[in-house]
Amino acid sequence: MAPNVDYQHVRRTRELLEEVVELDPDYADAWALLARILLKEHSVAWGYAEDLPTSAEVIDRAVGAVEIAERLNPDAPELVLAKADLAYWIYRFNPSEAGARARATAAYRQAVAARPKDVDVLESAASYYHWNNMVEPAMELYDRILQLEPRTEVRLSRAMLLAESDIAAGYREMVTVGELHPESTWKESLAYLETHLGHYHHALAI
């Protein structure tokens, strides 16, 4: 299997952050970023890496990095999103844990309140809401992101969310994205739409 470019990039970022915190162990933001990249690397590594650590081991490392960052500087700019992403992953891998979803939701609300114009924060929170079928807050954040920065992948995510309630409208939005940005993953999104939500051409015929 050919190496996954995203995985290779994420792995290299994690290695660089590990070097940074070794050289400057008091750099709180680097510890917070390391926590996030550990979780991201684990999420994209399946099928491209062998001898992967378990989800529990990755979460433990991320918890340790967040704790160090918070001890060094509880007001570190990167910390609020690192704590939200960590809460999300704890919930994702332990959905039956009491209060896990509520803690993740509260953490993302806090992150958005703290950094209301940070597109990375908004996109991470929107993805969490979308994954949990929280349609209104997800759509609100997608719209806010697109006002700040017209990210193509965000438009596709918004179209997918729209399709869950109006499949024809979601399809049209995806086609529009494809016309404007043919290099995007809009065809993959359409394939997902047809597989998981039904046949979009039937909806268009209504």
Which pLDDT tens digit goes with each residue over 185-201? 777 777 777 776 655 44
What global pTM score does this model have? 0.80
Which tens digit of pLDDT belongs to each residue from 115-136?
Answer: 999 999 999 999 999 989 899 9
**Better pLDDT: 133 or 73:** 73
Q: What is the pLDDT of residue 197?
A: 60
Which has the closest alpha carbon to 42: 20, 64, 3, 14? Answer: 14
- Split at pLDDT 50, 70, 90, the class of 180 is confident
